[in-house]
A = this chain, B = another copy of it.
Amino acid sequence: MTVSRRTMLGTSLAVLASKKVLAKVPAPAEPAPPSVKPSLVVPNGSILPSKLVRGARVFHLVAGEFDHEIAPGLTIKAWGYNGASPGPVIEATEGERVRIYVTNKLPESTTIHWHGVFVPNGMDGVAGLTQEAIAPGKTFKYEFTFDRAGTFMYHPHADEMTQIALGMMGMIVIHPRSGESARVRDYSLMTHEMMVPIGARRADPLAMTDFNVLTFNGKAFPATDALVAQVGDRVRIRIGNLGPMDHHPIHLHGHAFEVVATDGGTVPTSARVPETTVIVPVGTVRVVEFTARAAGDWPLHCHMTHHAMNQMGHAAANFIGADPAGVDAKLSRVVPGYMTMGHAGMTEMSTMRMPQPANAISMLGGKGPHGVIDMGGMFTIVKVRDHLVPGQDPGWYTGSTRASEASPSDLVGDGITP
């Protein structure tokens, strides 16, 4: 847009302004170009470095295996890009020509598909159909133009079941040529789910439903970085889900938001719906926006109860109010050799400092300001404050009266018999 108008006027606004002749230019039919630069934040992640070479932005993705810490206590062999799962975010601007080199250091062939991006068919990355697969050791070159702004994803389209299960996926953020129309806190999050048997070091690619490692940007709570915002800020969260199997309902406390875009494009204002929980189906991006309305520590999490927990939680919570005979077989499958613990709940377990199995997430990490936060998995916190100090951890929120034990005078005054 900006480019075409500049062309129409025959020179740039910047040049005009420097010549002090701006007042003579007729009022443009379009709004002035926004001055706000995009500023994407990737919690627990990073943005893929690039350089401008020979008329294109050049990126290099290296597919490989590496040690990946899900949360303190649990490290697995993951597959991903440039040593990360999800891989670094590819960030570019609408209209940019790109060359993306992909080196395969995996033991099997791979490709990359640019999910949602309009590329020439031969750049679509479908092994066998649109290209030869990239054999181990080889480096392939993809070249195309990001012809529209939006949020997209990348992943292999070769042995997808295995490669996605083990962690190969990433986000693509293409900013509009015109920049942002207003300042926005802009976050990118990617969901993932794995089945990692207790004590194992790899995800089981055959798992279809019984996932026990649920992550935002590759991390399970309490290892997930918080998102921060100041009261009144516009906040955008770009949530991508490449599966393998579940449509995650992502819930935010204390706010309502709207889906403003998908990987297919912008949602027209007339079609936007207020929600507190957005379902993010497999193979989609849901970009939500809201205005931070009140200070506090507001959880953001998958609302499927088994997805806001960690491996240990599945076992620990099982003995309260449950029929032991009915669950023994299943439990021993999930936690081989695990001892039965009587009637202790999750909180009790978290605090009794029981012996921890090797390579499993400790529940002790979820300490909050008022005791154990017995959540895990796909759970993080949006920390909204009246005033944020740049670069300073906002810590726990303590600025609000909180629910507490009712006093005798409350009970009498309100006629409550506990």
Contacts and interface: CB of A to CB of B under 8 A. Distances in A.
A397 B270 CA distance: 39
A245 B132 contact: no
A304 B245 contact: yes
A281 B368 CA distance: 29
Contacts of A113: 253
A371 B133 contact: yes
A315 to B, nearest CB: 8
Contact of A326 (B197, B244, B407): B197
B244 A405 contact: no
Interface string A229-269: 00000000000001111010101011111010011111110
Contacts of A176: none
A206 B111 CA distance: 37
A206 B121 contact: no
Contact of A264 (B276, B303, B373): B276
Nearest to A399: B121
Interface in A85-124: 99, 101, 103, 107-109, 111, 113, 115-116, 118-124
Copies in the complex: 3
Given A123-B402, A298-B121, A133 B53 contact: no
Contacts of A197: 323, 325-326
Given A121-B298, A374-B159, A101 B367 contact: no
A370 B107 contact: no
Contacts of A187: none
A295 interface: yes
A162 B303 contact: no
A101 B406 contact: yes
A132 B322 contact: no
A220 interface: no
Contact of A124 (B202, B253, B405): B253
Interface in A176-221: 195, 197, 200-206, 208-210
A400 interface: yes
Interface string A44-68: 0000000101100010100001000
A200 B157 CA distance: 30
Contacts of A404: 131-132, 140-141
A299 interface: yes
Interface in A141-189: 141-143, 157-162, 164-166
A20 B66 CA distance: 79
Interface string A381-416: 100000000000000110111111111001101111
A139 B416 contact: yes
The 7 closest A-B pairs by CB, nearest first: A121-B296, A283-B303, A122-B402, A265-B274, A128-B368, A264-B274, A122-B400
